[in-house]
Amino acid sequence: MSTLPHRLGFDKVSLHQDISKVLVDEITIRKRIRELGDIINREYAHKDLLLVSVLKGSIIFMADLIRSITVPHEIDFMATSSYGSGVSSSGVVRILKDLNTSIEGRNVILVEDIIDSGHTLSYLLRILQERRPASLRIMTLLDKPERREVNIHVDWVGFSIPNEFVVGYGLDYGEVYRNLPFIGVLKPSIYGAPE
Ligand code: PRP
C-alpha cells in the first residue's frame, strides 16, 4: 500500500499538473551544465579530482555534470538528512551515509542540487575539512540566497533562484517529483498552502 499523502498519490495522470510554472527549462539546464563542466575541465586539468554528490537531490545534476566533464575524476556519495521534514530545513543535520573513500590530500568538489538555509553544507564542510583534503569546493545547481541562515562561500552556482518551492531535476516534495526534467514551482495547494 502506498504511504504517499493523498495529494501526491497515484491517482494523478501526470506530475506536471502540480507545477504552476517552469522556472528553469531543460535546454537552459543543459547549457548551464556544459558551462559548469567547462569550468571543471579548465580548473582541474592535470589534477586529481573527486566529485562528491550529496544524496539524493543531486543525483541527476551529478549524472549530467560528470558527462560534461572530460578530465579524469572519481565520484563518491554522501547522504544527509535534516531532522524533521517538510518545506523548511530544521538546521540540525545528520549523516545517513558517509564517503567510501578517504579525501585526505585530494581535490574535492561537493556537488549539491540546492542550497537553502546553508545548514547542510556548513555541517558537511566542517566535517570534511577535518579530513584534510588538498582543496574543497562547492558546486550547486541552485541557490536560494534569500533563505540563507549561515554564511558559506559557494564556489559555483548554476542558477540563483527566488524563494519559491521548487521540485524536479532531482528535487522532491515528499520524495516525489524528482524525475521532472526541469525545475518547476510546485503549486502551493500541493503542500497545503493557499494559492
Ligand atoms: C536538500 C538539498 C540539500 C539541503 C539544502 O536535501 O539536497 O542537501 O536540502 O538545504 P539547507 O541549505 O537548508 O541545509 P534534503 O534534506 O531535502 O534531502 P534530499 O536531497 O534527499 O531530497
116 in ligand 1 pocket by Cβ < 6 Å? yes
Q: Which of 83, 95, 115 to mutate to test ligand 1, by most ligand atoms within 8 A of the CB atom?
A: 115
How much is the pLDDT for 90?
Answer: 59
In the sheet that holds 107-115, the strands lie side by side as 93-97, 74-82, 50-55, 107-115, 135-143, 156-160
Residue 152 predicted with pLDDT over 70:
yes
Q: Which of 59, 83, 89, 95 to mutate to test ligand 1, by most ligand atoms within 8 A of the CB atom?
A: 89
155 has catalytic annotation: no
What average pLDDT is seen over the chain?
A: 91
109 in ligand 1 pocket by Cβ < 6 Å? no
pTM for this one?
Answer: 0.92
- Rounded CA separation 92/95 (Å): 10
**Which grid coordinates are listed for 31?**
547549457
On whether the 22-82+93-187 domain is CATH 3.30.450.260, my answer is: no
Query: First vs last Cα of the chain: how many Å apart?
Result: 30
Residues 6+ apart with CB under 8 A from 1: none
Q: Which residue's CA lies nearest to atom 16 of ligand 1?
A: 81
pLDDT in tens, 118-139: 999 999 999 999 999 999 999 9
Residues 6+ apart with CB under 8 A from 32: 158, 159
